[in-house]
Amino acid sequence: QVQLAESGGGLVQAGGSLRLSCTASGRMSSVIGARMGWYRQAPGKQRELVAQYDNDRSTNYADSVKGRFTISRDNAENTVYLQMNSLKPEDTAVYYCNADLVIDSKMYSYWGQGTQVTVSS
């Protein structure tokens, strides 16, 4: 079993910055491949991809956050970060960490509990 622990959410004014962290723990020694990323869900909307960091170090961003958000990863610490700059009120949502892990040749998907990000205008 793998657990994801998120931190770093909060309330910030428009134009401000926040940094989210997500650390995976548990059966990580058995993981042979991992894609980690962040999704968000605003009230009344579907959960959407924000950014992903793949096993080959490639990254993928939603168009709405390109140039403002940066995803990075520390493999030694099993941690993925999301640096969010120039935040806008429309970035307000619950942000969820996701990890797609290959364990014993099978892929498993894990989610964190979510962290609230609120951007005031």
**Model pLDDT, residue 104:** 83
What are the tokens at 87?
């935040």
pLDDT at 98 > cutoff 80: yes
Q: In whole numbers, what is the pLDDT of the chain averaged over residues?
A: 94
**Model pLDDT, residue 31:** 76
pLDDT interval class at 116 (50, 70, 90): very high
- Rounded to an integer, what distance in angstroms lies between the CA atom of residue 114 and that of residue 36? 14
Average pLDDT, integer, range 76-97: 96
**Model pLDDT, residue 33:** 76
**Interval 16-66: pLDDT, tens:** 999 999 999 887 777 777 899 999 999 999 999 999 999 889 999 999 999
Residue among 95, 84, 113, 96 nearest 12 (CA): 84
- Rounded to an integer, what distance in angstroms lies between the CA atom of residue 80 and that of residue 22? 5
More confident residue, 40 or 105: 40
CA–CA–CA angle 16, 93, 112 (5° rounding): 110
